[in-house]
Amino acid sequence: MFIEDLIVDIQGLTAELGQAAIFLSLLAALWSIVLLSIGLTKRRPNLVRSGRNGIIATFILISIATGTLIFGFVTDDFSMKYVVEVSSAAQPLLYKISALWGRMSGSLLFWLWLLTAAGGVVVLQNRRSKDSLADYALIPIAIVQLFFIVLVTGWIEGVYNPLARFPAGQIAADGQGMNPLLQTPSMAFHPPTLYIGWISLTVPFAFAVAALLSGRIGSDWIHRSRRWMLFSWIVLTAGITLGGHWAYQELGWGGYWAWDPVENASFMPWLLGTAYLHSVMIQEKRGMLKLWNILLITLAFQFTLIGTFITRSGIITSVHAFAQSDIGGYFLGFILLSTLGVIALIVYRWERLKSANRLESLLSRESSFVLNNWLLVGLTLIILWGTIWPIISEAIQDKKASVPESFFNQVVVIPGLLLLFLTGAGPIISWKKITPNNFKRMFIPPIIVGLIATGIAWIYLAIKTVLKDPNQIDGGLFANIPGGLLFSGEKFPIFSLLCVFASVFVLVAIFSEFSRGAKLRTKRQQTTFLNGLRLLIQRNKRRYGGYIVHIGIVIVYIGIMGSKGYFLLESESLKLGESMEVGAYQLTMKDTFQEERENYFRSGVVFDVSKNGKHTTSMRPARHFYHKAGQGDQDTIESAIHGVGMDNLYIALGPLPAKIDNTTNVNAQVYYNPLIRVVWIGVAIMVLGGLVAITERSESTTST
Amino acid sequence: MKQRRLKIIAASTILLVAMVFLVLAMTTKTSVLHFTPAELVANAEVNDQQNLQVDGVIAEGSSTWDAANFKLTFAVQDRESNETVNVIYENRLKPDNFSDGGSVFVEGKYDATNNMIVATKLTTKCASKYEGAESTSSEKSSS
């Protein structure tokens, strides 16, 4: 009793405390901007120190504000507007906490909190730094913070303060509860991972601005922010994949990527970040691309805001059901102003941004990096084009329109395959200019192995097509010539074969890089091959970590090729005891089940799965009826997924009546997704490679 | 030196032009026009047998789920008027969040004589009662 009373007493104060903290943080951020600017221009170390403290203070204040909101969730404080909207008493604790980013105002506060934490970390990391580069970087960080603080104050129409209460004394009996679709572990972790990835991108951007502000355009700013960039990249890689994994498990359409505007918004900064990670190497090695790197990181940062703009402004309709508001205009304004600021700084520092070298040949490692950059930036622009096509269309032809998934699937294939090829060609091509010797030694073996693998894949695909439908032998254009079998089928699998060739080429190229280096070490250190390999990676974590990422990329491509290119889909209406077929599998509806869970009711059917007459497993797809879902009659698809080697058998069910008997029709949509697990494995390898690369300490003293 | 630069510029121009061409060609090929039910009904003949998208809300009480034939039928209603367009969606699951009054985007081929869309894709958004105050106000400003 006593504790409950105490909680109620505290609840009476927390929201107000949090609101006060937000207001004070506004002053603290302003304080930092002003003092750092004056301190750095007038060379007054004590002002700079005070500015740094302002950054720490902002972090503490926003932590208090976020803490009070979490307290409101955990203690079910239904006098708070935001708590009522996204939480309810019965919601499990994990989802009470993840409700923090369940809606717009809360997610802005959460974003801000992460941003202030990043600012705090930058201060701590650089507290013993001999130069002032990091102090310069704190200015743009504080400006971005200030922008977000203004957004959560509640002064802007359409965005209320997440700590706001209902008018005087009104208390709701219970909350409306979070959207049941969001009540899964991957959805609890997916948004914060993306946020962390996006926010850490702010730091390298801030260092680029710091380089412009301070005039120290060497490679210092890149070294100092390298680990932030890699961290952001790793987290974004994981976060985007978690989102795909969530869609795959929860949405019941058997896929993981649909080129939805919000997915694109998360993917575009990743592409730009990837481009940046490559182009900085050219600046470090050859003193080129200085201006480009600054532009690239600026663009990557702006795209994190553009993503938010796209999802929150309501200018583009998206599945992601975030409420729309006037906030888009503020984002657009901030994006434009900050870009103009960077451009002004670039003009101001123009003389120092000149390259030390030029491209010497089209066939060189430098060129392969430049091509990589163009392709990645090009892909970003293509995806942006497709995403904002509704706006463009309305502007130029005065008609509302959009492009479907197939647009994206088709336009990304060629740049995507070129990029895949580059992940292998880049690391083995020589600097400055390719030599015949370099080509013979490094390129010929992987090309030969790649061609052999392509031939095998070609024959395999042709046989599979014919086995599936023997009539197609006659239908083929080249049916009457020897080997015409290979050209049968609806269409020649050109992209699959190119993908196989490039994948094998890259794997052979990268693995021989590893083995060459490891053998050298083995010989020099008189040790075992494995030990040599370990030493090799340890001595140059950045390089070989990067190669591991490349291997992961290849594996992801193979998985995408299989799961996007060769999936099977069957939909049928079944009664108890009836069965259906998908590929080689036979599914028989055996039984039904009903279970009561903590905050939902689970109802579903049991399928017996057999392959060629042999029983392999049973699967239990279901639907969930959430007790407190805010929308009463809403139930959600809970698909059943069964792994077969690297493939998945996937069942999603249509609406079910409360009681199923022998006459009830159950609607099953069944997918066979080949190689889909390969996608998740490939991403795991990419993340692992990133982690290897990030452990290398930056050499912060060298500069060009 | 000069020749080399020329080569690089030529190569990049070709790449750029090819990419732009590809993207523009694909855009015109795949782009689907959006209509409100009222707009579509008003221009029914022009859009007969066209692939298009209709944005509206699920008309109250219009939806039926025919489990035996794996078929969803409903009417998509204009946000501002009573005009509706009928929708048939076969052999696909009804998406989550599908409920009366909820926002829906219907993609498919339009049949003017029956004022009906054979849908290939349905996208739903939460019903406004679930979205809460935050979006009901903005829905007006954005439409």
- Residues A10-19: tens digit of each pLDDT: 887 888 999 9
Which chain A positions have a beta carbon within 8 Å of B134's beta carbon? 85, 103-104, 158, 160, 323, 325
Same structural domain for residues B55 and B108?
Answer: yes
B138–A325 CB contact, under 8 Å: yes
The residues in B 34-63 lying below 8 A from A, measured between CB atoms, are 34-35, 53, 55
Q: What is the DSSP string of A110-153?
A: HHHHHHHHHHHHHHHHTTT-SSSHHHHHHHHHHHHHHHHHHHHT
Same structural domain for residues B110 and B48?
Answer: yes
Q: What is the pLDDT of residue A569?
A: 92
Q: What is the pLDDT of residue A240?
A: 94
Length of chain B: 143
Mutate to test the interface with A, among B1, B13, B19, B46 (most CBs of A within 10 A): B19
Same structural domain for residues B77 and B55?
Answer: yes
**CB-CB: which of A362, A389, A665 is closest to B68?**
A665
Q: What is the pLDDT of residue A678?
A: 96
Asked, for residue B139, whether it belongs to a domain, the answer is no
Q: What is the pLDDT of residue A579?
A: 93
Distance from the Cα of B27 to chain A's closest Cα (Å) equals 7
Which chain A positions have a beta carbon within 8 Å of B94's beta carbon? 654-655
CA-closest candidate to residue A208, choices A49, A356, A349: A349
Same structural domain for residues B64 and B116?
Answer: yes
- Within a 10 A sphere around the Cβ of B14, how many other Cβ atoms? 10
Q: What is the pLDDT of residue B142?
A: 27
Same structural domain for residues B19 and B39?
Answer: no
- What is the rounded distance in angstroms from the CA atom of residue A505 to the CA atom of residue A449? 7
Same structural domain for residues B15 and B45?
Answer: no
Same structural domain for residues B8 and B56?
Answer: no
Q: What is the pLDDT of residue A595?
A: 87
Q: What is the pLDDT of residue A322?
A: 44
The residues in A 399-418 lying below 8 A from B, measured between CB atoms, are 399-404, 406-407, 410-411, 414-415
Which chain A positions have a beta carbon within 8 Å of B31's beta carbon? 389, 393, 401-403, 407
Same structural domain for residues B72 and B20?
Answer: no
Q: What is the pLDDT of residue A74?
A: 92
**Top-confidence residue, A420 or A529:** A420
Same structural domain for residues B47 and B86?
Answer: yes
The residues in B 73-92 lying below 8 A from A, measured between CB atoms, are 91-92
Same structural domain for residues B23 and B66?
Answer: no
Q: What is the mean pLDDT of residues A442-458?
A: 93
The alpha carbon of A434 is separated from its chain's Cα centroid by a whole number of angstroms, namely 35
* Percent of chain A whose pLDDT exceeds 70: 92
Q: What is the pLDDT of residue B73?
A: 94
Mutate to test the interface with B, among A104, A317, A653 (most CBs of B within 10 A): A317
Which chain A positions have a beta carbon within 8 Å of B123's beta carbon? 319
**For residue range A152-184, what is the model confidence (pLDDT) as tens digits?**
998 877 778 888 888 877 788 788 887 777 777
Contacts (Cβ under 8 Å, ≥6 apart) of A672: A567, A568, A569, A582, A583, A585, A647, A648, A649, A650
Asked, for residue B71, whether it belongs to a domain, the answer is yes
Distance from the Cα of B114 to chain A's closest Cα (Å) equals 23
Ordered per-residue pLDDT tens for chain B, 143 residues: 567 778 878 888 898 898 899 899 999 999 999 899 999 999 888 889 989 999 899 999 899 988 888 999 999 999 889 999 999 999 888 887 788 888 888 999 999 999 999 999 888 865 433 333 232 222 222 22
Same structural domain for residues B9 and B69?
Answer: no
* Percent of chain A whose pLDDT exceeds 90: 53
Q: What is the pLDDT of residue A319?
A: 44
A314–B34 CB contact, under 8 Å: no
Residue A486 confidence (pLDDT) above 80: no
Asked, for residue B141, whether it belongs to a domain, the answer is no
Residue range of the domain that includes B82:
32-127
Q: Which of A295-299, A401-405, A655-659, B72-76 has the lowest mean pLDDT?
A: A655-659
**For residue range A604-639, what is the model confidence (pLDDT) as tens digits?**
999 999 998 889 999 999 988 877 655 445 678 889
The residues in A 326-355 lying below 8 A from B, measured between CB atoms, are 326
The residues in A 156-195 lying below 8 A from B, measured between CB atoms, are 158, 160, 176, 179, 181
Q: Which of A192-201, A313-322, A672-681 has the lowest mean pLDDT?
A: A313-322
Task: Count the domains in chain B.
Answer: 2
Q: What is the pLDDT of residue B134?
A: 30
Which chain A positions have a beta carbon within 8 Å of B70's beta carbon? 571-573, 654, 667
Same structural domain for residues B116 and B46?
Answer: yes
Burial grade of A12 (CB within 10 A; 0-12, 13-18, 19 or more): exposed
A655–B65 CB contact, under 8 Å: yes
Asked, for residue B109, whether it belongs to a domain, the answer is yes
User: Are the beta carbons of A302 and A273 closer than 8 angstroms?
Assistant: no
| pTM, full prediction | 0.91
Burial grade of A437 (CB within 10 A; 0-12, 13-18, 19 or more): exposed
- For A482, phi then psi, to 5°, come to -60, 140
